[in-house]
Amino acid sequence: MRTLVTGAAGFIGSHLCERLLADGHTVRAIDSFTDYYPPESKRRNIAEFAGSPAFELLTLDLSTDKIDQALAGVDVVFHLAGQPGVRLSWADGFRSYAERNILATQRLLEATRRHALRRLVFSSSSSVYGNLVSYPTPETDLPRPYSPYGVTKLAAEHLCSAYAENFAIPAVSLRYFTVYGPRQRPDMAFHRLIEAGLGGPAFPAYGDGSAIRSFTFVDDVVEANMAAASAELAPGEVFNISGGSSVAMSEAYEIVSSLTGSPTKVDVFPPKSGDVQRTGGAVDKAERLLGWVPKTDIRTGLAAQVAWHRDIRGV
């Protein structure tokens, strides 16, 4: 299988590239190495396989650069590129989210019209749901984003559906629920929480710890992408990729403390705008149509992430 992975040097993208190469596929990778977090961290993510003859890295910005040639000869596109994070998507920060999540997706979809693809797998987010009243949430519930970030991810989803319906682009969307594991972005909660437990700065906890999240281990997310690339699916389908564990943040603090062997330093602040109280997605549809279920529980997954943090710290 000849693949194109956008956002290839990021947290999830690098794991997906690694899996594709291990399975014998070729990978053409796109990343613009934005400064949302240090580009050197992204380059480290792909360092072990960047020299593979089956791996080609293109430094491109999907929202501005010419991208047609990158799609030449490709069977499957995994579109993971975008501007992540809820808290910076307000005010002047919104421009980057509109460009990197909406415009970049629209330009990629336009380019796919000129190439015969087997599948385009779009990485969406549970942030499209916002605050709902029933859990676990099925894909049929009406999305009501609670942040500008969620709005841009839902807009990109709708673009995928519109291009699927109008031009038969074989696009499907995967709604990720709080992905964690080795190489997690440094702005994400578990990264900062583990660093705090290993002697770094105190973890800034926004809220009283009662917020509940459905945590999904990165290897399970990669498996969902692989399944979505090969399953027989109608264009425009949307799937929740959720779980393994749903726990309160206060419980997560305790698990990390037990894994690092020291109390985790936590500084408590008021909740931030855009943060929802609870997430949790039903995965019946993914199990039925993709043959996918989450396999990694929170303690096993966090143990793997703690081991990665120890390794990069040399402790």
Query: Which residues have C-beta within 8 Å of that of residue 22, sequence separation ≥ 6?
Result: none
- For residues 70 and 98, the answer to whether their CB atoms sit within 8 Å is no
The C-alpha atoms of residue 157 and residue 224 are separated, in whole angstroms, by 17
- Using CA atoms, how far apart are residues 53 and 30, in angstroms rounded to an integer? 16
Residue 76's CB is within 10 A of a number of other CB atoms, namely 22
Cis peptide before 136 (omega within 30 of 0): yes
Structure tokens at 238: 């949307």
- CB distance 294 to 283 below 8 Å: yes
Q: Is 37 a catalytic residue?
A: no
CA gap 6, 275 in Å, rounded: 27
d(CA 173, CA 143): 14
Residue with tokens 């917020």: 211
Give the separation between CA 278 and CA 214, rounded to whole angstroms: 8
Q: What is the DSSP string of 29-68?
A: EEE---TTS-HHHHHHHHTTTTT-TTEEEEE--TTTS--G
Residue whose entry in the numeric block shows the structure tokens 């990720």: 176
Candidates 36, 129, 146, 149; catalytic one: 149
Q: Which residues are catalytic?
A: 149
